[in-house]
Amino acid sequence: MMIRLLSIEFGKLLRLSSLRFSLIVLAIYPFLWAYAPGVFKAYGSYVVSAFQVPALSLLSSMQFLLPLLVAIASAELLGLEMIHGTLATVLLRPVTRSGLLLSKIIIAISYPFLLIGFMFIVSLIAGIPLGFSDFVGGTGVGPSGLVGDGLLTASGAMLELIRAYFIAGISLLPISLLSILFTVIFMNVASGALATLTVLILMQLLVVFPWLEPYLLSSQLNSYFSSGVSLGRAFALIALYSAVFAVSAMLIFERKDY
């Protein structure tokens, strides 16, 4: 039954208007960075390699754009069922509530990787005119930023980017799950997505408490810069946030009246 539910839910994901909107935005977005005249002013370096375009796309989208797109799609996955009234229809079939929500959660947590993967490919395409050869500088997601510390090989740059995109995808997972949790609570797409973004913005404001900053959900969005112990701590916190949000959503969904 779970495989059947997953295939149904994946079909629903592909039909989400927010998915189409996100893909359009992310199809345009990297091109802005590849040819933006103000990059030097913002980042203190010129874009000299195709490998820097994906990094710039990621750097500029992780704090707000990608969390926003992820939160909306995750809220839509469940909230649209409430708007259409189909949630009740599905629950009347021999499907457990936990099974249904779990299938939505699995699809929702795959969504950040779908978006990130798409943006990565488009960014590489946008960078074609700049070339994929070895270059002097940094990708922007490595330890020495865009300026770099000498010659960076093409394979080294690619590995840095894949690592950063993968970690970024992981750090977006709690956003997906938080959005599902709020949608379960409010039974509404807009409220689910907005509540998620409100929490993120509030957490970004909480950096005024320096001792709290490393543990905030919003701080984990920058974990693709981390390595070693701090990356391990970020993964642990991401796992903890994700588990709390997912389990809470399951428990509430299990006893909710529809």
Partner 1 sequence: MQTLIEVNNLSKRYGKKTIIDDISFKVNAGEVYALVGPNGAGKTTVIRLVTGLSFPTDGEVKLFGENASKKPSLRHKLGAVVEAPAAFYPYLSGEDNLKLHAKLAGGVKAERIDEVLEMMELSYARAQKLATYSLGMRQRLGVAAAVLTKPDILILDEPASGMDPLSLHLVHSVLREAARNGAAVLLSTHHLDEVVTYCSRVAILEEGKLIDEVNLHDRRQRYRAKVSQIQRAEDILADTDFVRHIKQRADELVFILAEKEDLAKVTATLFENNISLFELMPDTFNLKAYYREQININPRFQERVVR
CB of 193 to partner 1, least distance (A): 20
Nearer to partner 1, 89 or 133 (CB): 89
Q: What are phi and psi of 95, to 5 degrees?
A: -125, 135
Which runs of consecutive H residues, i.e. helices, occur in the chain? 2-14, 17-34, 39-43, 52-61, 65-84, 86-91, 97-126, 154-171, 173-186, 189-205, 228-254
Nearer to partner 1, 12 or 139 (CB): 12
CB of 192 to partner 1, least distance (A): 19
Nearer to partner 1, 19 or 173 (CB): 19
CB of 44 to partner 1, least distance (A): 47
**Nearest residue to 74 via CA among 103, 99, 111, 44:** 111
Question: 10 Å Cβ neighbour count for 163?
Answer: 15
Nearer to partner 1, 99 or 156 (CB): 99
Q: Cα separations (Å) of 223 from 48, 161, 167, 200, 242?
A: 25, 13, 7, 15, 15
Nearer to partner 1, 15 or 202 (CB): 15
CB of 247 to partner 1, least distance (A): 20
Q: Find tokens 């969504």 and name the residue.
A: 111
Please answer whether residues 79 and 189 qualify as being in contact, where contact means their C-beta atoms are separated by less than 8 angstroms: yes
Nearer to partner 1, 16 or 206 (CB): 16
Lookup: tokens for 230: 């701090």
**Nearest residue to 167 via CA among 228, 126, 104:** 228
CB of 243 to partner 1, least distance (A): 25
Binding-site ranges for partner 1 (CB under 8 A): 1, 4, 8, 12, 15, 84-86, 88-96, 255, 257-258
CB of 91 to partner 1, least distance (A): 6
